[in-house]
Amino acid sequence: MLLFGRVLRAAGLQVHHARLLDAVRALEWVGLRSRADVRAVLRSLLVHRRDDLAVFDEAFDAFFRAHDTGGSNLPLFSLGERARVVARRNAGAPPRVDLDSEVASPADAALAVGAYSPVEVSRSKDFGELTASEFAEARRLLLRMPWEVGRRRTRRWRRSSHGALDLPRTVRRAAARGGLAADLPFRVRAEARRPIVILADVSGSMDRYSRILLYFACGLSRASADVESFLFATRLTRVTSHLSAAGGHHAVTRVVRGLQDWGGGTRIGEALRTFNTTWARRVMRHAPVVLVVSDGWDRGDPDLLDRELARLRRSCSRLVWLNPLLGASGYEPLTRGMQVALRHVDDFLPVHNLTSVDRLASHLRGLFSHHGLHRHL
């Protein structure tokens, strides 16, 4: 059992000692005669996430196969790497990102923490034309942007000087004072941050902007706890944990380096379809603001894009389309994809330089005040 616990840990599962002891106890009750029962017992007690089930099964099979043939147990520990990749791929991450070595080179690490740069980057300079040092500075600024998206009302109450009468406190006060007092307590619904979902296009046509916009997404993720991020080109990948503060700098660097393997054509409709069918139920909670970052170059089926955007629009509180090309003078959203998108989006805004990002920030801040509700196209 201890050995199997170690195999599971090597495969990336969190296995607690107390649970292993439970498992030993449980196996005494259920018995060891049927392998299916043993599997069911261990699955019930050692796994507590659906995503881990596949890894567990693979480890279980490998472990007991090795046991049957009496082979050496050592190679099993190499299983970890393989299983982890399988698990991540189920969750939709690009294998390339995971296969990168865990330790970034010192040079990368220095870059990733936003090394001090004396370069002043012009706030109106297009992201696609930044020099290496300007890029570093822009990245530093993007990672530190304070973001505040409108708030939403929750169902929890909090004390207030106005609002509805707080009956529980009224009674408690009355009891304590021996009668109803004149100063009545009130309460209002508490507010919480409105969640954000980012869907960023990293296909070939976005090449000039993908890297810097990833830092934009990363800055947003770190400023607010409630941000879900996805990247798409021909398929969709969730990168929430990589871009959040918990992911650490290496995680971001790995995603950024992984980008070069992306490129290729875009199928926005299909990516959104995947999002709507497999992710929306889990991440579209509490009426989020959805930011789609794309130039709208779409090689897929426009009807599919139309349908999926309509659905996406219905499941969020605000659909914002950010297009880096919109900053160029004389740009007209003539691509088929952009034409379709304009039928559904609430806001169509540029993200091509720091000024446009600032404007976006103030736009998002004002979104749910009364005058922010009309469409910006």
CB of 177 to other proteins, least distance (A): 7
Report if residue 151 touches other proteins, rule: CB under 8 A. Answer: no
Report if residue 175 touches other proteins, rule: CB under 8 A. Answer: yes
CB of 174 to other proteins, least distance (A): 5
CB of 227 to other proteins, least distance (A): 14
Q: Tell which one of 48, 67, 159, 343 touches other proteins (CB under 8 A).
A: 48
AA letter at 168: P
Report if residue 50 touches other proteins, rule: CB under 8 A. Answer: yes
User: How does strand 186-193 pair with strand 318-323?
Assistant: unpaired
| Cβ distance to other proteins smaller for residue 169 or 363 | 169
Q: Tell which one of 1, 3, 32, 49 touches other proteins (CB under 8 A).
A: 49
Are 376 and 346 a contacting pair, CB within 8 Å? yes
Report if residue 33 touches other proteins, rule: CB under 8 A. Answer: no
CA distance 48 to 61: 19
| Cβ distance to other proteins smaller for residue 314 or 376 | 314
CA distance 314 to 318: 9
Q: Tell me which residues in 63-122 interact with other proteins (CB under 8 A).
A: none
Report if residue 39 touches other proteins, rule: CB under 8 A. Answer: yes
134-141 contacts, C-beta under 8 A, 24 or more apart? 135/211, 135/212, 136/111, 138/212, 138/215, 138/354, 139/114, 139/212, 139/215, 140/114, 141/354
CA distance 160 to 95: 51
Q: Tell which one of 29, 102, 330, 334 touches other proteins (CB under 8 A).
A: 29
Q: Quick one: tokens of 368?
A: 């749910």
Are 184 and 171 a contacting pair, CB within 8 Å? no
User: How does strand 186-193 pair with strand 164-165?
Assistant: antiparallel
CA distance 161 to 213: 43
Q: Tell me which residues in 259-278 interact with other proteins (CB under 8 A).
A: 273, 276-277
CB of 70 to other proteins, least distance (A): 28
Q: Tell me which residues in 304-363 interact with other proteins (CB under 8 A).
A: 307, 311
* Residues binding other proteins (CB under 8 A): 14, 16, 19, 22, 25-26, 29-30, 36-37, 39-41, 43-45, 47-50, 53, 154-157, 167-168, 170-171, 174-180, 273, 276-277, 281-282, 285-286, 307, 311
